[in-house]
Amino acid sequence: MRALRSLRAVRRFSEREIPAAVLEALLEAGRWTGSAKNTQPWHVVVVTEQETLAGLSKLGQYAGHIAGAKCALVLVMDGAHNAFDCGRLAERLMVAAWAHGVGSCIGSLFPDENVTTAKRRLVIPEEKWVRHVISLGYPADDMAHRISSTPGTRRVLPSVGRKPLREFVGRDRYGAS
């Protein structure tokens, strides 16, 4: 529960390398993610080349954090109908990373022209669905999960914290506590 409750987006990363064993452990956790009918409709592209990370960071309005990551995981799905499973995979990878002390943040690739650019650069088949990239790295400092380095992001991010349980849960009907 501690890892789940303390997980926050990290957008500023240190220069510390992610050990191969840690990255393998994250990927193994991702491999065991549940999916509809156990179809496992995904493939993960691990990107470590700085030039490629920098290029990906320009393919989404709030994807700037990818440029400073030690690596990024590009989530490739069989089709758009697998979006729910993509979310399951993303969350699992991010929680696994945090359990190892590795920060992460999800970035969305859009509009469609940017997705096409990413697919070409990473040699992803045209028929695959790609929208999300997870940046990974050890947090730059103790405030890395609170302060964004992505220009303009700070204005649109919600506050840190969570709604009270009574506002989050309806008992037997919407809004009933």
CATH architecture assigned to 2-141 = 3-Layer(aba) Sandwich (3.40)
Taking the domains of the chain in order of start, what are their residue ranges?
2-141
pLDDT tens, 66-106?
Answer: 999 999 999 999 999 999 999 999 999 999 999 999 999 99
Rounded to 5°, the CA angle 144-44-50 comes to: 50
pTM for this entry: 0.89
pLDDT of residue 106: 98
User: Mean of the pLDDT values across residues 113-120?
Assistant: 98
pLDDT of residue 115: 98
- 155 pLDDT above the threshold of 90: no
The percentage of residues in the chain with a pLDDT greater than 70, rounded to a whole number, is 92
- 108 pLDDT above the threshold of 80: yes
- 14 pLDDT above the threshold of 60: yes
pLDDT of residue 176: 82
Helical H runs in the chain?
A: 2-6, 20-31, 50-57, 83-99, 112-122, 153-156, 165-168
